[in-house]
Amino acid sequence: MAKFASSAVLRGGNSAIKSLCTKMLLVKNYTFGASYAAVQAAKLAEVTVANADFVQTTVGNNEQLALPTGKSAVATASSVSGDDLHFVFTDGLAVVHYVADETTDQVVTSGNTVNFPSLLYTNNQPV
């Protein structure tokens, strides 16, 4: 259930995710701070994302980023019951920028289509 944001995302928030991320992956058993090579090794499916795929809005006093929706890919590996799945956003070359938990942890079978859901990243106003 680990989540992660790179220092670039911590500094730049939604704009950093939008401008730096070019790949969205579904991976199994992510460990906090895992390297780019480690997430590539755990990859089940991958899609390309572009700046225009992200929608940034203001909701009340908070800034919200809708992460890409309507993306799908054929799974290149399988998971089993009990694998902890995550969505990982990378620069497609060497850096993991943002990791979100995939809460359903459905079993994925290699060769089947994986539909990536819409995710929200919110920068909340300090309380």
User: Sheet of 62-66: strands edge to edge?
Assistant: 55-59, 62-66, 120-123
Predicted pLDDT of residue 49 = 95
Strands (E), 80-126: 85-90, 96-101, 113-116, 120-123
Query: What's the total number of domains in the chain?
Result: 1
Question: At 122, is the pLDDT very low, low, confident or very high (cuts 50, 70, 90)?
Answer: confident
Task: Using the predicted structure, report yes or no on whether residue 48 has a pLDDT greater than 70.
Answer: yes
**How is residue 107 written in tokens?**
């079993």
Burial classification of residue 67, based on how many CB atoms lie within 10 Å of its CB (0-12 exposed, 13-18 middle, 19 or more buried): buried
Q: Is 26 helix (H, G, I), strand (E, B) or coil?
A: strand
Kind of pairing between the strands at 120-123 and 113-116: unpaired
The average pLDDT across 27-33 equals: 95
CB neighbour list of residue 127: distance below 8 Å, 6 or more residues apart? none
Kind of pairing between the strands at 55-59 and 43-48: unpaired
The neighbour count for residue 15, using CB atoms within 10 Å, is 16
Q: What is the pLDDT of residues 56-106, one digit of tens each?
A: 999 999 999 998 888 999 999 999 999 999 999 999 999 999 999 998 899
| Residue ranges making up the domain that contains 105 | 4-123
Task: Using the predicted structure, report yes or no on whether residue 119 has a pLDDT greater than 90.
Answer: no
The percentage of the chain sitting over the pLDDT mark of 90, rounded to a whole number, equals 78
Task: Using the predicted structure, report yes or no on whether residue 28 has a pLDDT greater than 90.
Answer: yes
